[in-house]
Amino acid sequence: MQASDRFNINSQLEHLQAKYVGTGHADLNRFEWAVNIQRDSYASYTGHYPLLAFFSVAENESIGRERYNFMQKMLLPCGLPPEREDDS
């Protein structure tokens, strides 16, 4: 692998990370990564009707109620963020 190839790959990765939030970046911590994954999952569940219908049958809820529950879970999918420790 040549140096120009590495530069090209890194610039493509930086472009993807700037364009799409879910791809992460070097300063992304574990909690933020988990929140992105959970929100993407809930958005997929509400956006794909067969998945939404499956969950509604499995939980014996109406499709509208299940969609509402997923939307509510998107607010804080992993609970409150952990306390940040100051390095100073």
pLDDT score recorded for residue 87: 58
DSSP letters for 51-84? HHHHHHHHTT--HHHHHHHHHHHTTSTT-SPPPP
pLDDT score recorded for residue 85: 74
**Cα pseudo-dihedral 71, 54, 31, 24, rounded to 10:** -90
pLDDT score recorded for residue 19: 81
Print pLDDT tens along the chain (88 aa): 676 676 688 888 788 777 877 677 777 888 888 898 999 999 999 999 999 999 999 999 999 999 999 999 999 998 888 887 765 5
Global model pTM greater than 0.85 = no
pLDDT score recorded for residue 1: 64
CB proximity list for 35: less than 8 A, separation 6 or greater: 77, 78
- Distance, first Cα to last Cα, the chain: 41
